[in-house]
Structure 1
Amino acid sequence: MNLSQLRAFHAVASHRTFSAAAQALGVSQPAITQHVKSLEDAVGTRLFQRTAGGVELTLDALDLLPKVRQAILMLDDISARMSDGRSLATGHLAIGLCAPYVAMPILERFTTDHPGVQLDVRLENSSRLLDLVAQHRVDIAIATLREPHPDFACDFLLDQRVEILVHAGHSWWERGEIEAGELRGQRLVTREAGSMTRHLFEAALAERGIELAPHLVLGSREAVKEAVAAGIGIGIVLDRERGFDPRLRALAVCDFNVLAGEYLVTRRETRSLGSVGAFVAIALAAFKEGAADRRQSVLNSLGNTGSSRG
């Protein structure tokens, strides 16, 4: 058993296909296949079952996966410490995002400080991201949460405010804000049920007895923006994700404020190890001052209006 075999196993377990694992590690698919076979011979059991869409982990593989990931991170951590902590020479870090605008400053700094670490970044809604962290398929997630999740290490980064998105020509286009009651009768374009932004918005409406069933459900914020721009309905968006599309305008809801917290989510046992620990340190340094100032500003702006906390 060697590190190459462990990395190959982890890559296949994360990507669920041998071809994607080979691409992620920058090696040939036959090399991945051989490493996995050698590891299976060493542990004396099958680790993957082939399916039409890729592979599924056996029960033994599911038991082995968290131990392998922790071992890889520990070896990366030892390597960095032996080089005086200057940089992680190599490594692989799987990251899940629901808010890419929040993550990009962290990714820029991390890739500058640790160019040898290969990043595998995927976009999912917050509910799906928590599942991926629990399944050891991503090492770190930046997710929108109502509050810290008890099963993970959750570090607060910043708050975002949920706003209403309208298209040019909408009767609200010239306004800067609306009242919650005006939402009745509007056609709502929104994300899927796993979206925390949608969940927080609907919860705030329910608290005020406002029913607003989705008119159209789409799988990404970009699709929601395009649907709103086309005049299909109004949308909801986080203030840092509204962008600069001249076809769209974001409005505040003056009589309630829905705040969505962005958190860095990791497994507790790997939070301080290797590339995960390096990413956490960079993220917290990047957002420490800005998050504190922004949160205080947002809370001060609420005044005596009602608020829903994310």
Structure 2
Amino acid sequence: MHSPDRLKYINFSQLRSFYAVGRVQSFTKAAVWLNIGQPTVTTQVKALEERFNVQLFDRSPNGLHLTDTGVALMKLARQIFALEEHAHSLLDSTGNSYGGKLHIGTVGSYFVMDFLVDYSEKFPLVQVSVVSGNSGVLYERLLNYELDVAILGRKYDDHKLEQLRLGAHEVAIIVDESHDWAAKSTISLEELDGQRMIFREEGSMTRRALEEKLEEQSVKPNVIMELSRDSVVEAVAAGLGAGIISMEEFSPDERLTLIRIRSQPPMTNSYAACLRERRNIPAIDVFMRLVEKRLLLDSSTNPVD
């Protein structure tokens, strides 16, 4: 009788120590994170390297860095421990009382807070964490299993994702109270030509939407800085130049004036996204179903002609 091949396995404790060190780039911090002694972490990583005769980290006076093999293993480890976390969530769930964690990334807090109110009321046992970033960064983190759900500023041509369109959002200009435009409520796109401006960083869909309109009209502003959303607001308030922002993300600020762009202003779209293969994980499925319910309600309240 043919006997099956022996089951191949990796010591899970060793892999967990490797994953922790790779995440925080430090044996000391990894030990704190895992709540075990540093010698134990060091021993487990060393044992993993010796077991497979590989080097997973480059250790130098400049710090700790993953080798090429380490980078490849880290990608798999992220998937493994993301699944472990959600296996825990599944087993911790009873009926409609879900437990566990949900990691959300969003291009702006505005797009997610209403959903979180409903989510927290219905499923108070789920621990939710929210991080902000541009669409490019959040997309990569979603693919790397670092996020469960992401609110993105564009739709990606990626069959691995399930994406639900939340809506369209107008891009506007902000200036400080001493700016020549401070008394204006609207401007033309052409007025941005040569204007000192503070743009969002690469990967921002707000930036991309404006750049596409500028290119269409051959308008070339004088871009003096590229900053994150919050930094754009503060730089504008300091009088460094005009900035760009999605109108939904703008909070009234006595230091600033919001100015709309006349005649076909730049627009962005927002999408709720998750990996298709993980949609059936309770904490993720609940959030996406809330989005679907909201979209269904909006479409019945405001039907398309």
Check if 1:69 corresponds to 2:100: no
Identity %: 29
Q: 1-side partners of 2:163 and 2:32: how far apart?
A: 31
Compute the displacement of 1:258 (Å). 2.0
Calculate the TM-score normalised by the size of structure 2. Answer: 0.75
Structure 1 residue aligned with 2:198:
189
Structure 2 residue aligned with 1:130:
139
Q: 1-side partners of 2:228 and 2:85: how far apart?
A: 34
Larger gyration radius, structure 1 or structure 2: 2
Change (3 A) 1:143 1:83: closer
One-letter amino acid matched to 1:246: E
Structure 2 residue aligned with 1:169:
178
Q: 2-side partners of 1:24 and 1:110: how far apart?
A: 28
Check if 1:155 corresponds to 2:176: no
Change (3 A) 1:288 1:236: farther
SS at match of 1:166: strand
Structure 2 residue aligned with 1:272:
279
Kept in 2, the 8 Å contact 1:186–1:212? The answer is yes
The superposition leaves residues 25-77 of structure 1 with CA deviations (integer Å, 9 ceiling, x where unpaired) of 55554454344334434544332223555433333333333433333333344
One-letter amino acid matched to 1:222: D
Kept in 2, the 8 Å contact 1:165–1:228? The answer is yes
Check if 1:10 corresponds to 2:15: no
Kept in 2, the 8 Å contact 1:228–1:234? The answer is yes
Q: 1-side partners of 2:37 and 2:247: how far apart?
A: 43
Partner of residue 298 from structure 2, selected from 283, 288, 293: 293
Structure 1 residue aligned with 2:270:
262
Compute the displacement of 1:7 (Å). 3.5
Between stretches 157-166 and 30-39, larger displacement belongs to: 30-39
Q: 1-side partners of 2:185 and 2:257: how far apart?
A: 9
Structure 2 residue aligned with 1:224:
232
Q: 2-side partners of 1:96 and 1:20: how far apart?
A: 24
Compute the displacement of 1:194 (Å). 3.2
Q: 1-side partners of 2:163 and 2:217: how far apart?
A: 31
Asked which structure has the greater RCO (Cα within 8 Å, sep 6+), the reply is 1
Partner of residue 237 from structure 1, selected from 241, 245, 270: 245
Compute the displacement of 1:148 (Å). 2.1
Q: 1-side partners of 2:150 and 2:187: how far apart?
A: 30
One-letter amino acid matched to 1:233: G
Change (3 A) 1:82 1:233: closer
Q: 1-side partners of 2:296 and 2:185: how far apart?
A: 25
Kept in 2, the 8 Å contact 1:139–1:267? The answer is no
Partner of residue 87 from structure 1, selected from 90, 94, 98: 98
Structure 1 residue aligned with 2:6:
none
Compute the displacement of 1:201 (Å). 0.7
The superposition leaves residues 265-284 of structure 1 with CA deviations (integer Å, 9 ceiling, x where unpaired) of 44444x2365xx61453155
Structure 2 residue aligned with 1:304:
none
Change (3 A) 1:193 1:130: same
Gaps of 5+ in 1: 301-310
One-letter amino acid matched to 1:221: R
Compute the displacement of 1:234 (Å). 1.0
Kept in 1, the 8 Å contact 2:196–2:242? The answer is yes
Partner of residue 40 from structure 1, selected from 46, 49, 53: 49
Check if 1:252 corresponds to 2:260: yes
Gaps of 5+ in 2: 1-9
One-letter amino acid matched to 2:294: E
Q: 1-side partners of 2:22 and 2:235: how far apart?
A: 36
Compute the displacement of 1:235 (Å). 0.7
